[in-house]
Structure 1
């Protein structure tokens, strides 16, 4: 998921996607700890996507405060 996709989402969609990614991150950590994780790069991808979503949410909040 890239930045343009994230910017095109609504606030509710961002919250849902963030929740889904946090669950995936939790599961990936458990797989890594138990030695079952095959794609170790996925942890990094999920972490960065979470950061992108949080950045977009913060920017929207700042824009809303600035606009009012």
Structure 2
């Protein structure tokens, strides 16, 4: 799979991750990584795991989430 962002720029670069929001493949230059605490939906605020999970997104989805 190739990076979708790079394809838009007429480049072919292998994807190293998949956006957790839209499913687009992204390369190391375009992937955005954040740490997020996992919480139980039935008990908001209760942390499921002490160690935060990793969440990978593409630049478009990250920007959309920051704009909210």
Q: Which has the higher strand share?
A: 2
TM-score (norm 1): 0.24
Instruction: Considering Cα pairs closer than 8 Å and 6+ residues apart, tell me whether 1 or 2 has the greater RCO.
Output: 1
